[in-house]
Each structure stands twice: as C-alpha cells, then as structure tokens.
A = this chain, B = another copy of it.
Amino acid sequence: MFEKFRFLTAGESHGKCLTAIIEGLPAGLEIDVDFINAELKRRQGGYGRGGRMKIENDTVEITSGVRFGKTLGSPLTMVIWNRDFENWQKIMSVNAKDFTDEKSFTAYRPGHADFAGSIKYNREDLRDILERSSARKTAIYVAVGAVAKLLLKHYGIECSSKILQIGSGKNEEEFCREIDLAKEAGDTVGGKFEVIVDNLPVGLGSHVHWDRKLDGRIAQAVMSIPAVKSVSFGDGEDAYKIFGSKFHDEIFLKENGEIYRKTNHSGGVEGGMTNGEPLVVRAVMKPIPTLRKPLNTVDFKQNEQTTAHFERSDTCAVEACAVVAEAMVACTLANEIMLVKPCDYL
C-alpha cells in the first residue's frame, strides 16, 4: 500500500464480481470510462488466449467517487461484474446452506498457490485458494491502473509496453510460432517484456531511505503480478557482463545548456530516482502453470500420486501480463507524483 494512492482489490475468479476501492485521488480528475474499458480489452487480447476471454469482455461500473464525469476526492469504487456468474452461483455461494464438497479440488497444481495456500489457510477444498490466486484478479488491477494512467496523463506521462521474447522467438511472427508449438504440445510458454514510461519528471522516488526508492517500489508492484519471476531496470539483467565504463550512462551538454544522455542502460533510474530518461522496466513471465498435458502432483485427500487438473486455460498470456505490469507501474508512479505535486484537486 502506498501513502497517497491507496487501493484494495477483492474478488474471486468465479465470484459475483471483482471490486476495487482507490483512496487518495485528487478531486476534479476526468474519469474516461471508455479508456478504462479499452484497457480491460487490451488485457483480454493477445495471441494464445483460451476460450474464457471471449466470455469475459470486461467492463467496469463505477459506484462511488465520481460525479458528472469527475472525481470528488472521495474513494472511487469500481466493479467488474462476472457475466458468467449464474453458472457459478451454487459452487461459489456465500451461504452456508449451499455447502457442498462434491466438486472439491484436492490435487495441488504445481506452480500455483494451491499447496502453500491450503496449508496456510487450512483449506480442504483447493478452490478456496485458487479462486483468489487466479490471474482473473488482474482485471481489476488493470482498471485501477487505468485510473492511475488518467492521473499521469494529466502530467503528460505516458505508459506503454512491448513483448521482447517468447520462447526463442524474438519478433511477432516467431512469437506466434512458439505459441503454436506450445499449444500443439499441450504445453504453455512464457515471455519477456518491457514497460516504458515517457515524460517523467526528474526526482520521483528518493535515495534517502530504502523503502522510498522508486526501483524497489516498482519491483514489488511488478513482481507481485502472478507468474512474474524476474524484474530488471534497463539493461540491468546483463549488467554483470560488461565493465562500468560501458554500463553507465554518461552525461552531455548541448550548446543550448541542456543536459542529455546518449544511452539509457540504467532504465531511467539512478539512486532510486527517475533521472529524466524513459523508465524501462523489464520482466519475465513464467509459462502458465495450467497445462493440457498434465503435470505430476499429489492428491492430498486420496493421499496418492496423480496429475494436475486442467481447466480451460491459455497457452500464452504474455501480452496480458505486460498490460497488467503497465497498470502496476502506473499505480506506483501515480503515488509518487502525488507525493511531489500534491494535488487535492486538478
């Protein structure tokens, strides 16, 4: 949780809805619902997605904090209703009287929260864990991130993302080939991507205390996305391969007195602060752990070796993951911008 742009999100994958409350917005910010919905649509796209994406077609309903198209400064609530909920209302009922363990899951899916979560929270039906650990919840992150982006746009700041690699593929055509290969094999494939933020002011974050360093905060926000296993800034991933004289971004003076750089190996962060260059955050998404070709695992109820259950799933969701990463970076920056340009109203 941040200091100024705070939010809580809630909702199970097949529950009635996903909900977010954002607290700390300035008043007077124009909320463009179409933009939020367009962001939700971006998350649902990408080559390699499965059937559920067609059902979802997420849109957001705002139930507080906005009047006549502008924020009030009060907490903003967004809801994404589950259009498929009628098929799930029995199995996801909040009422004790609807209890059933007929369809309970008892075989841990490797790579998921199932094992650790069921022990931590003492659950006998793994659905009690997987409904919340599902990547479905990232839809509401994207909605929150879209609001953060609207705030950043007010200051001219723009976020985007780009896929860098999927399997051994390094361009659009190769990405599709890798995904096709994985799909044919009943397998899944991850990828590497980057989030780029342009037009940031110098000095977001701080060097003075570890928990105010911008790179640390962004690393937390991006690493907390399901399936992300690695986060780097600029060429940080390879920074151990070259000497300092090649890595550091030298500083030059234009004739007009302006300062500039010829390189951006540091990814726009020095000393835990933005340095005026584009912010470049790279992340690696692991392959989706739900495979058609099932993985070996254990059923803790039957106490026997078995294979992991397969629910309709995607082969590759790297594009979606990049959109979610944009959102989480935008949330982090929205908080930072309000710490330096505090704006009770716009």
Residues of B contacting A203 in the complex (Cβ-Cβ under 8 angstroms): 116-117, 119-121, 344
The answer on a CB contact under 8 Å between A122 and B344 is yes
Q: Contact at A234–B229, with CB atoms within 8 Å? A: yes
What is the bound-complex CA distance between A324 and B178, given in angstroms? 39
Sample of 18 more A-B contacts, CB < 8 Å, known A10-B75, A115-B270, A116-B271: A10-B76, A73-B206, A110-B248, A116-B273, A120-B340, A121-B203, A121-B344, A167-B241, A182-B243, A187-B245, A218-B223, A219-B222, A220-B220, A229-B267, A230-B233, A231-B231, A244-B288, A257-B303
Q: With A10-B21, A250-B296 known to touch, is A230 a contact of B239 (CB < 8 Å)?
A: yes
Q: Check B244 against A287 for contact (C-beta < 8 Å).
A: yes
Stretch at the interface among A37-45, A46-54, A88-96, A154-162: A88-96
Residue of B nearest to A165 (CB): B240
Question: Which residues of chain B are within 8 angstroms of A273 by Cβ–Cβ distance?
Answer: 113, 116-117, 120
Q: Taking the complex as formed, is A106 at the interface, i.e. its CB lies under 8 A from any CB of chain B? A: no
Interface residues of A in 314-338 (CB under 8 A from B): 318, 328
Q: Bin chain A's interface residue count.
A: 35 or more
Q: Across the interface, do B303 and A253 meet the contact criterion of CB distance under 8 Å? A: yes
> Given A111-B248, A230-B230, A116–B243 Cβ distance below 8 Å?
no
Residues from chain B with a CB closer than 8 A to the CB of A216 are 219-221, 223-224
How far, in angstroms, from A117 to B273 measured CA to CA in the complex? 7
Within 8 Å CB of A176, what residues of B? none
- Identical chains in the assembly: 4
A344 to chain B, nearest CB (A): 5
Contacts A8-B209, A74-B132, A207-B133 known; A224 to B215 CB distance under 8 Å?
yes
Q: Which of A273-296 contact B (CB under 8 A)?
A: 273-276, 284-289, 291, 293, 295-296
| Cβ 8 A contact of A141, one of B4, B210, B304 | B210
Q: Does A274 contact B168, Cβ atoms closer than 8 Å?
A: no
**How many angstroms between the C-alpha atoms of A213 and B215 in the bound complex?**
17
- Whether B62 pairs with A112 at a CB distance below 8 angstroms is no
Question: What chain B residues lie within 8 Å of A219 (beta carbons)?
Answer: 216, 219-220, 222-223, 231
Selected from B185, B224, B266, B275, the residue in CB contact (under 8 A) with A213 is: B224
Residues of B within 8 A of A305 (CB): 252-253
Q: Among the listed B119, B122, B297, which residue makes an inter-chain contact with A28, where contact means beta carbons less than 8 Å apart?
A: B122
Report yes or no: B275 in contact with A116, Cβ–Cβ below 8 A. yes
**In the complex, what distance in Å separates the CA atom of A165 from the CA atom of B241?**
8
- CB contacts (< 8 Å) of A94 on chain B: these are 31, 33, 62, 66-69
B23 and A251 contact, CB distance less than 8 A: no
Q: For the complex, what is the distance from the CA of A167 to the CA of B242, rounded to whole Å?
A: 6
